[in-house]
Amino acid sequence: MLHLMDEITGWFEPGRPAFAVATIVGASGSVPRPVGTAMAVRVDGRVVGSLSGGCVEAAVHAACLRAISVGRACREAFGYSDADAFAVGLTCGGTLDVHVQPLDPTHPTPLVTDLARHARDGAGDAPTALVRRIDTTGTTGVLLRGAAIGSAEIAAALGGLVEPSALESVARQVDAALRTGGTAVVRAASRDARDGSEQDAPVTLLVETRRPAPRLVVAGANDFAGALVRAASLLGYRITLVDAREVFADAGRYREAEVVVEWPDAYLAREHAAGRVDERTAVVVLTHDPKFDVPLLRLALGLPLAYVGAMGSRRAHAQRVEALRAEGVADADLARLRSPVGLDLGAVGPEEVAVSICAELVAARHGRATVAPLSAGDGPLHDDQLHGHPQDDPTPAERRP
């Protein structure tokens, strides 16, 4: 639900029509979208988001309207039917488990009130976690916001959902999902007193998190940088172009990026000291000049960044590696350098090179050490970690980075 908040902000205002949010809470086989993907349907027919790219949208739409009508959450399962590939189901062969939750701004629950406040205030730069019980017919859940959120604060907030002995373990998993910006499905014990008794019952929690967009720092103002800035903006990065040469660092050429005139290594050092780079940050060096490249790469390779790449020929790469070794960079850190940058697509020209770099960024984001054409294999299209199945053990969670 969190990734829809920017589009459904006004839906939470008092007096607005009731709506329902359908969220993928489990998946297996080949499916178009991962756990945590959501679709919102308003009683007047307005739809935001998509769960499958078209396979089950009509059926999910109908389930949302039913949930609004009866005022109760429900679970729906969609899969492939050999008897009729065009029946309600996924022709790609996978299965989806969908939680449908009605929300009524006219009669708000505490969770709806918190979501309305969050929608009004905006996400800002603070990390946010939405933890919902997905095994109930109500709207039980909590919304956690703030840069200071940690396991202790999470445990305190979950006290009404989870049995005390499971709080510490569940809080750690929610905290881990929040730090990585992932989605988690957690099985835990609950203190369920709805029937007037104090009786522990197992529950399933869906943890959705939202963090500020990951950063991409591009060093070097040139045509390749312009193409990369445009292409990478489609991947959701918050992009900074940095170059010490003011004559080339023209903000008008790089409209999708913040443009900074500064020595790249000094800029990255300053951003790191201010806590504005993290383990999701990518750095791509396009300057082709050792006086810029070497100091920046020496610093970047010593930081816990998601990706460090540098453009250049294999000869330039060999010279760069020797210069970095002379500067004291260890072989283990040099092994993290993606150089020559990008996947081997046979790219020619700035636009194609930008595609090859973006492809490598995506592969690195999902932990793919080797990449081959999908048509060359016969295995599953998606890793199991995207499916988020609850386990028999009451505490583990599967996270999607």
Read off the pLDDT of residues 171-190 as tens digits, 9 standing for 90 and up: 888 888 877 777 888 887 66
Q: Name the 3-class secondary structure at 4.
A: helix
Q: List strands edge to edge, sheet with 282-285.
A: 258-261, 238-243, 215-219, 282-285, 307-310, 337-338
Per-residue pLDDT at 318: 92
**Is residue 235, in this structure, part of any structural domain at all?**
yes
At 84, is the pLDDT very low, low, confident or very high (cuts 50, 70, 90)? very low
Helices (H) and strands (E) in the chain, counts: 10, 16
353 vs 24: CA distance, rounded Å: 35
Picking from 80, 81, 112, the residue whose alpha carbon sits closest to that of residue 94 is 80
Give the lowest-confidence range in 167-181, 256-270, 372-386.
372-386
At 397, is the pLDDT very low, low, confident or very high (cuts 50, 70, 90)? very low
The continuous run of DSSP H or E covering 130 comes out as strand 128-133
Contact criterion met (CB below 8 Å) for 127 and 146: yes
**Is residue 21, in this structure, part of any structural domain at all?**
yes
Task: Find the DSSP H helices in 104-163.
Answer: 110-121, 151-157
Query: In terms of domains, do 132 and 157 share one?
Result: yes
Number of domains present in the structure of the chain: 3
Q: Is the pLDDT of residue 156 over 90?
A: no
CATH number of the structural domain spanning residue 180:
3.10.20
Q: 358 or 189: which carries more pLDDT confidence?
A: 358
Per-residue pLDDT at 155: 84
User: What residues does 279 pair with on adjacent strands?
Assistant: none
Picking from 301, 291, 341, 299, the residue whose alpha carbon sits closest to that of residue 317 is 341
* pLDDT (mean) for 161-171: 82
**Is residue 399, in this structure, part of any structural domain at all?**
no
CATH number of the structural domain spanning residue 320:
3.40.50.720
> Tens of pLDDT along 221-258?
999 999 999 999 999 999 999 999 999 999 999 999 99
Q: Give the end-to-end CA distance of the chain in Å, rounded to a whole number.
A: 17
Contact criterion met (CB below 8 Å) for 135 and 203: yes
Strands (E), 162-264: 183-192, 199-210, 215-219, 238-243, 258-261
User: What residues does 238 pair with on adjacent strands?
Assistant: 215
All residues at 6 or more sequence positions from 347 whose CB lies less than 8 Å from its CB, including other chains: 353, 355, 356
327 vs 295: CA distance, rounded Å: 9
Query: In terms of domains, do 5 and 52 share one?
Result: yes
Query: In terms of domains, do 235 and 348 share one?
Result: yes
Range of the domain at 99: 1-108
Q: Which two tokens stand for residue 26?
A: 């489990």
∠ Cα 139 108 71 (to 5°): 55
Query: In terms of domains, do 332 and 362 share one?
Result: yes
Q: Name the 3-class secondary structure at 260.
A: strand
Please give the mean pLDDT across all residues of the chain.
Answer: 82
**73, 108, 143 - which closes a domain:** 108
Residue 124 CA: distances (Å) to CA of 5, 128, 162, 261, 337: 12, 10, 29, 26, 32
Q: Is the pLDDT of residue 387 over 90?
A: no
Q: Say which amino acid occupies 218.
A: V
Query: In terms of domains, do 355 and 233 share one?
Result: yes
> Tens of pLDDT along 9-55?
889 888 899 999 999 888 776 556 778 889 999 998 899 988 876 66
Q: List strands edge to edge, sheet with 38-42.
A: 47-49, 38-42, 19-28, 95-103, 74-78
0.75 exceeded by pTM: no
Query: In terms of domains, do 367 and 219 share one?
Result: yes
Q: Is the pLDDT of residue 196 over 80?
A: no
Task: Name, of 22-26, 118-122, 166-170, the range with top average pLDDT.
Answer: 22-26
Query: In terms of domains, do 85 and 150 share one?
Result: no
Query: In terms of domains, do 92 and 139 share one?
Result: no
Query: In terms of domains, do 38 and 77 share one?
Result: yes
Three-state secondary structure readout of 239-253? EEEEECCCCCCCHHH
What's the distance, CA 288 to chain centroid? Answer: 32
69 vs 67: CA distance, rounded Å: 5
Query: In terms of domains, do 191 and 243 share one?
Result: no
How many other β-carbons are positioned within 10 Å of the β-carbon of residue 59? 18
**Is residue 136, in this structure, part of any structural domain at all?**
yes
Query: In terms of domains, do 352 and 265 share one?
Result: yes
Picking from 46, 37, 38, 39, the residue whose alpha carbon sits closest to that of residue 18 is 46
User: What residues does 100 pair with on adjacent strands?
Assistant: 22, 74
Per-residue pLDDT at 162: 80
